[in-house]
Amino acid sequence: MDNKNERSYDSEEEELLAYELEVASSNKQINADYRKIVRLGISKWLANLQDNKIKLETTEELKRLLEADKLLRDE
């Protein structure tokens, strides 16, 4: 009977581990998606700067994008 309890515990432990791996993988993909969005935003901001659609006085947007990129990189 003890063996059955150990197997049940092992099975529960394996299920929990599989779930945790799935969540971690999902979080990693979400962060990768967010980084893509931030990088696109940075690219668009730089393109607008080069096209003189924005002036250097509005660098606050770029600062926010760079901070978001750094935050996502650190996770």
- Going by pLDDT thresholds of 50, 70 and 90, the confidence category of residue 5 is low
Q: What is the pLDDT of residue 8?
A: 61
Q: Which residue has the higher pLDDT, 44 or 3?
A: 44
Q: What is the pLDDT of residue 51?
A: 93
Q: Domain map of the chain by residue range? A: 2-74
pLDDT digits (tens, 9 = 90+) for 11-29: 888 899 999 999 989 988 9
Q: Is it the case that residue 2 has pLDDT exceeding 90?
A: no
For all residues of the chain together, what is the average pLDDT? 82
DSSP string, 21-64: HHHHHHHHHHHHHHHHHHHHHHHHHHHHHHTTSS-GGGTHHHHH
